Amino acid sequence: MPPSPRYRRVLLKLSGEGLMGNREYGLDPAMVTMVAQEIKTVHEMGVQVCLVIGGGNIFRGVSAAASGMDRASGDYMGMLATVINSLAMQSALERQGLQTRVQSAIPMTTVCEPYIRRRAARHMEKGRVVIFAAGTGNPFFTTDTAAALRAAEMSVDAMLKGTQVDGVYSSDPKKDKTAKRYDSLTYMDVLQRDLQVMDASAISLARENRIPIIVFDIHKPGAFAATMRGEGTFTIIR
């Protein structure tokens, strides 16, 4: 029998770009389906799963502000992009037979539920996968910070960042062959060395609430489930 999962409840943070596949923009349905299958495997291990999905594959407020748009308006557009991604992921998860709820930090009740902390926790207890959409609901924040915030509110045992590489490296492993992968780091290591894991406010929030952050390769089949058993390659920050 495989070892049982180390975690009872986790939050998985996915960037919008991670759902883009080889495209330059938007969503790759095959990639969304692949990630949904990975989530299903972990859910079947008895782990309660919630998700925060970014919106960078569709819209980023900072980029819009650089070309003259009001930053707050751009950020609201970015938050709406996360709702699009969340609905796509909801649909993919439901095709896998999972029960899901999307809760948005910006209420849009004809599309999904508004964010209600206790209700989200109850959904997870009932075995539903909860997708937190629209980031924190506030401009000038990122979905990394939203992930750390929801992770703290949901009292998760770990926050997982599903990326394109299997952990945190000393430099970009796709560009630098000598880049070294870390097995574990402290929150302070990440902040002081300015390692590109999550933004500083997300790291600080995780640190204050003692939530371990696990960085792993979401595109490697079986890696999410292996990480839940403490197997495979990943970097843990604690």
Which parts are annotated binding residues? 13-16, 55-56, 60, 75, 136-143, 163-164, 169, 172
Using the CB atoms, write b or e for 25-63: b if 16+ within 10 Å. Answer: ebbeeebbbbbbebbbbbbeeebbbbbbbbbbbbbbbee
**CA 218 – CA 229 distance, rounded (Å):** 15
Is residue 162 involved in binding ligand UDP (CB under 6 A)? Answer: no
Residues 76 to 95 in contact with ligand UDP, rule: CB under 6 A? 78-79, 81-82
Is residue 212 involved in binding ligand UDP (CB under 6 A)? Answer: no
39-47, 113-121, 134-142, 190-198 -> range binding ligand UDP (CB under 6 A)? 134-142
Residues 14 to 33 in contact with ligand UDP, rule: CB under 6 A? 15-17
Is residue 141 involved in binding ligand UDP (CB under 6 A)? Answer: yes
Strands 181-182 and 158-163: unpaired
**CA 162 – CA 175 distance, rounded (Å):** 20
CB of 127 to ligand UDP, least distance (A): 26
The 8-class DSSP code of residue 128 comes to: P
Residues 176 to 205 in contact with ligand UDP, rule: CB under 6 A? none
Give phi and psi for 190, each to the nearest 5: -65, -45
CB of 66 to ligand UDP, least distance (A): 12
